[in-house]
Amino acid sequence: MTNTATDTATDTATDTATDTATDTATDPQAPAAAPANAVLRVPPASPAAAAAYFGASLAFHADVSDVAAALAAALASGEDPGFVVIDSRSTESWDQGHVPGALHLPTALISEQAERLLDKSVPVVTYCWGPGCNGATRAALALAQLGYQVKEMLGGMEYWIREGFEFETWEARETREADPLTAPVGAENCGC
């Protein structure tokens, strides 16, 4: 009974949407239907377009938790993670705290130092301060223009620290409690 009711509701909604679109298309004077809300003011992309967009996004971005997990697994196994992490910030920022094992290569120095420090066959993951900073994006662009495969680490150093991952300062290594707004408390990972 529920399936029949659902099918009927779906058919009715589809027929109504099709009829409205047909009426508007055939009568240019017909008023456009008001969007249901601000979320749907611009309709969602087709599933194929969405798959292409989100697939491309994952080709350009890595998240803090995935980078941390890959680095931890490589450290535990003694194997190379298959990528190098680049901190594109200033020396003062680097000294304040950076991802352990990252290479310090400020964006302004990429064009003159990248080829000496990096192997073009090894993917690069860039990071900067955080979501409000586009320094990692600029660094990724500079590296890509030199022929490197590159991803940007979303969240940057801010989310590395907020998610409770160890970081290194000029003095020592530190870890802070995970922010429960960015990482689950007492869990290995967020499950996403």
What tens digit of pLDDT does each residue of 94-117 get?
999 999 999 999 999 999 999 999
Start-to-end CA distance of the chain, whole Å, equals: 35
Non-local (6+) Cβ contacts of 70 within 8 A are 81, 82, 83
CA angle at 158 for the pair 131 and 97, rounded to the nearest 5°: 135
d(CA 163, CA 157): 10
pLDDT value for 30: 58
Non-local (6+) Cβ contacts of 74 within 8 A are 80, 81, 82
Decide if 163 contacts 65 (C-beta within 8 A): yes
Identify residue 30 by its one-letter amino acid code: A
pLDDT tens digits, one per residue of 56-98:
999 999 999 999 999 999 999 999 999 999 999 999 999 999 9
Tokens of 3: 């399936």
Residue 1 pLDDT class (50, 70, 90 cuts): very low
- How much is the average pLDDT of 145-167? 96
User: 9 pLDDT exceeds 90?
Assistant: no
d(CA 59, CA 101): 23
User: 15 pLDDT exceeds 50?
Assistant: no
Q: Range with the lowest mean pLDDT among 20-34, 54-68, 76-90, 120-134?
A: 20-34
- How much is the average pLDDT of 35-52? 92
pLDDT value for 4: 41
Nearest to 124, CA basis, from 134, 136, 113:
136
From the number of C-beta atoms within 10 Å of its C-beta (0-12, 13-18, 19+), residue 178 rates as: middle
